[in-house]
């Protein structure tokens, strides 16, 4: 995929900052988050799907970042927004802690097919200086022209806050190509399923728990037991769109459990001092390839711009 113009990428991040605010040292979106230590153990089925090193049977170390979607690091956990789960796998048998990432959110699909559409929607959501809220006419006009955005918006507006990060299902949205040791290739989409089940609470209950209840709840939970997620892969069939993250595949598509992730404790070995930790969905490894989804490829460019703004480091 061709790289987006640097000026356009900067405009998109500017538009995101117009919504969430400009906060030194913070990400442009998913600014409020916490980092946790984990261990991923692949299933025997995983090695049949891909030759990727972290899918060959042995447990691998991981970092997990849970977050809220807003670009405001001070936003309360009870806000009406999506949640994120980013996982970094430390690959075995390679030097210098080589990694690969899965980036996922609670939304079942994305709200735009192209970076240009995403930019237009972000501009439409810019808060009015007088009211501090988006102009609903502008948002409505965009949605009228882009009905593919409606499922994501409806999900954000109608879903109650989660009881715990450990009780959210997360979807990676984009398709990737998986190649096994025998050369068989297929496309699939990741999702994380919580073994504790999906549980929500009312907004009133969430407010009573406080602005940081999700992090505090997870800390308390992990004192008793790990938070466990199953990594599922939905396999595409002929005719399924692999480069459009706004379209869900039929629910009857085959699903394969690739492994189990145990989140065990809060991590304090990264994002300390000058350490910059980046989760990038295009950071893949041998046996896994990106699809031609333009949103997937643009995310890497937007993340790089966001990293530079918060750290001064060019990726």
A 10 A CB-CB count for 3 gives: 10
Q: For residue 83, give the 3-state DSSP assignment.
A: strand
Least Cα distance to 20 among 65, 66, 74 occurs for 74
Catalytic residue (one of 30, 54, 119, 297): 30
Active site residue 23: no
288 is written with which tokens? 């896994």
Active site amino acids: 30
């Amino acid at each position: 995929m061709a790289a987006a113009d640097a000026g356009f990428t900067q405009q998109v991040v500017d538009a995101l900052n117009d919504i969430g605010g400009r906060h030194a040292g913070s990400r442009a979106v998913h600014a409020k988050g916490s980092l946790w230590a984990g261990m991923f153990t692949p299933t025997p089925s995983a090695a049949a799907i891909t030759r990727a090193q972290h899918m060959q049977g042995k447990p691998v170390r991981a970092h997990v970042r849970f977050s809220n979607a807003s670009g405001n690091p001070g936003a309360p956990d009870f806000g009406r927004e999506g949640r994120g789960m980013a996982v970094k796998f430390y690959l075995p048998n390679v030097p210098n802690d080589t990694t690969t990432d899965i980036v996922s959110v609670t939304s079942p699909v994305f709200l735009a097919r192209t970076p240009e559409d995403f930019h237009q929607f972000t501009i439409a959501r810019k808060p009015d200086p007088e009211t501090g809220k988006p102009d609903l006419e502008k948002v409505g006009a965009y949605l009228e022209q882009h009905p593919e955005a409606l499922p994501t918006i409806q999900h954000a507006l109608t879903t109650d806050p989660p009881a715990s990060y450990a009780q959210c299902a997360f979807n990676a949205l984009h398709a990737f190509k998986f190649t096994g040791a025998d050369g068989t290739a297929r496309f699939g989409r990741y999702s994380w399923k919580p073994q504790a089940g999906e549980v929500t609470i009312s907004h009133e209950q969430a407010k009573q728990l406080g602005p940081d209840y999700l992090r505090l709840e997870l800390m308390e939970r992990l004192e008793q037991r790990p938070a466990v997620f199953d990594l599922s892969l939905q396999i595409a069939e002929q005719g399924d769109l692999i480069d459009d993250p706004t379209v869900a595949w039929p629910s009857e598509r085959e699903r394969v459990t690739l492994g189990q992730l145990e989140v065990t404790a809060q991590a304090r070995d990264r994002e300390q001092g000058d350490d910059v930790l980046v989760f990038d969905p295009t950071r893949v490894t041998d046996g896994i390839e990106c699809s031609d989804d333009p949103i997937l490829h643009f995310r890497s460019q937007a993340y790089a711009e966001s990293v530079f703004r918060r750290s001064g480091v060019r990726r």
